[in-house]
Amino acid sequence: MKAISKYNGQHILVLGLGKSGFETAKLLHQLGAIVTVNDGQDVTHTDAYKALSEMGINVVSGAHPISLLENASLIVKNPGIPYTVALLKAAEERQIPIVTEVELAYEINEGAIIGITGTNGKTTVTSLIGDMFKHSEKDGLLCGNIGFVASKVAQNAIESDTLIMEMSSFQLMGINKFRPHIALITNIYSAHLDYHGSQDNYVSAKFNITKNQTSSDYLIFNYKQRELLNNYDIQSKIVYFSADEVVEGAYIKEDKIYFLDEFIMHVKDVVLPGKHNLENVLASIAAAKLSNIENECIVKTLTTFEGIKHRLQFVTETNGVKYYNDSKATNTLATTFALDSFTQPIHWLVGGLDRGNGFEDLDAHVDQVKRMYIFGETTQKFIAFAKQHNIPYTQCDDVKDAVQQTTTYTTNGDVVLLSPACASWDQYPTYEVRGEHFIGQVKLI
């Protein structure tokens, strides 16, 4: 960890006492700052509150009093807190800088950073790159939006380490000097418009990952969305990936994967299913090659990687039927990727929270669906969908019941796919719990 003195004696407000807020407060306290933590909820009963209080850090909870801004020279906010809250609006009026904790991670980090963002696939790509590093002699440390607080991981990183950092658009809105040596954008679609206000704002937040890069850095980018680059002043070297065309970067030609004309492996040996995962694979290869990871380490990852839990995760094969858990597919876009990943007959487990939207986005992706198993608040909508497409269906109580029902209809060579296209909150507290219920029931077959 770099020894920096810029925060010594500075009054800094940490907004939000989540996991990142807790670690940020401790780090700033260690760096000599006078820290105040503020959370809109009452957190006085939490272990984090007690731990910070014992360190002499002031924690104000239950409201966001504007008086907290009186001496503040900086705000480090939880990424999920929108800039529209009154406290942050007042801070902007007073020209108080607002950052997220990834900025602090950059400032104290001694080694290189690979920053990964995008609408879909960023967790898979981050994990793939991390696994490639693991198989090599290089040390790669996963952090960021993948679940490990970046500023905490950076404290223990040394110069030879590489931070492999998954980054959300929320985090990227709060950077000033943050500069990854390798920036990677998987893809950009429409998302989080309730937070950003417009698609243009969302895209701009994603491209913040490149704003401090120089000609000695790299941007790995999806070739099919290259037109987006015309809207930004990119100073870094652009390396493309494409599953459809030969590009300056990672690509597929005659069912073989190449990087800059160097053969890496055969497509058939990649264990992750789906064309969208081929794009994730290509993006990961580009990052690994730019980090001087050996081909054998790349191939070992891509022939053994089991996937991210709840994201098109292979669970098991029983009686010739393969079971996949894609509980993280809480919207139609994610489910289209899952449905398009298989050429085998699909037994599709679908349904969940009714947010008032339709499911016409799925119309062109159900050719392989042999039967639907429908549950949750959207049951009647998906029954109508099944009838519209002449797909046999079974109405089920929940995910467990749906798994049980599949045993009546599946045969050798079929796929059972949980890809709900809906959030879980009508029946399950999280998509993870929903996925675990699926896995648990599959193991009973």
10 Å CB burial of residue 45 (0-12, 13-18, 19+) is exposed
Which CA distances in Å does 314 have to 133, 261, 310?
A: 23, 32, 9
What are the DSSP calls for 298-357, one per residue? HHHHHHH---BTTBSEEEEEETTEEEEE-TT--SHHHHHHHHTT-SS-EEEEE-----S-
Interatomic CA distance for residues 384 and 387, integer angstroms: 5
Which DSSP state fits 145? T
Using the structure block, give the residue that is written with the tokens 């909150």. Answer: 425
123 annotated as a binding-site residue = yes
24 annotated as a binding-site residue = no
Give the gyration radius of the chain's Cα atoms.
23
Question: 137: helix, coil or strand?
Answer: coil
Interatomic CA distance for residues 113 and 31, integer angstroms: 22
122 annotated as a binding-site residue = yes
Using the structure block, give the residue that is written with the tokens 């260690």. Answer: 30
Interatomic CA distance for residues 166 and 186, integer angstroms: 11
Neighbouring CB atoms inside 10 A of 25's CB total 27
Angle at 58 between CA 52 and CA 107, to 5 degrees: 70
User: What is the distance in angstroms between the CA of the first residue and the CA of the last residue of the chain?
Assistant: 50
Is there a contact between 37 and 19 (Cβ–Cβ < 8 Å)? no
C-alpha torsion sign, points 102, 106, 108, 112: positive
Residues whose CB falls within 8 Å of the CB of residue 67, separated by 6 or more in sequence, listed in order: none
Note the residue count of the chain. Answer: 445
120 annotated as a binding-site residue = yes
Is there a contact between 27 and 92 (Cβ–Cβ < 8 Å)? no
Question: 36: helix, coil or strand?
Answer: strand
User: What angle separates helix 275-290 from helix 122-135, to the nearest 10 degrees?
Assistant: 50
Is there a contact between 118 and 185 (Cβ–Cβ < 8 Å)? yes
* Residue type at position 133: F
124 annotated as a binding-site residue = yes
The β-bridge relationship of strands 112-117 and 98-99 is unpaired
Binding residues are 118-124
Binding residues for ATP are 118-124
